[in-house]
Amino acid sequence: MKNHGNEVSLVTGGAGFIGSHVVDHLLSMNHKVIALDDLSGGFERNVNKNAIFVKGSILDNQVLAEILIPTRLIMFFTWPLMPLRD
């Protein structure tokens, strides 16, 4: 998981237990990290200050459209599982 310049890694559920540790680990490897979390279960205080925290849902297409543009790596740690959509 080498950093490739300005590319960004996205961690969904980044304010949760596992996601926040993954954010820390990616930052320690010099990744630029976006932590996406709707705070339905997690806490903003869990998110490393060196990450870009985005409060929003993985189900929100507008949020995703903005943050997926520079994203190269996506790690998915949201819980509970997202509801099925039509």
Ligand X SMILES: NC(=O)c1ccc[n+]([C@@H]2O[C@H](COP(=O)([O-])OP(=O)(O)OC[C@H]3O[C@@H](n4cnc5c(N)ncnc54)[C@H](O)[C@@H]3O)[C@@H](O)[C@H]2O)c1
Question: Could you list the residues that contact ligand X (CB under 6 A)?
Answer: 12-13, 15-19, 36-42, 57-59, 77-79, 82
DSSP-based three-state secondary structure for 49? coil
Closest approach of ligand X to the CB of residue 72, in Å: 20
Distance CA 16, CA 2 (A): 24
Question: Which residue's CB is nearer to ligand X, number 10 or number 31?
Answer: 10
Residue 85: burial class (beta carbons within 10 Å; 0-12, 13-18, 19+): exposed
Closest approach of ligand X to the CB of residue 57, in Å: 4
Closest approach of ligand X to the CB of residue 51, in Å: 13
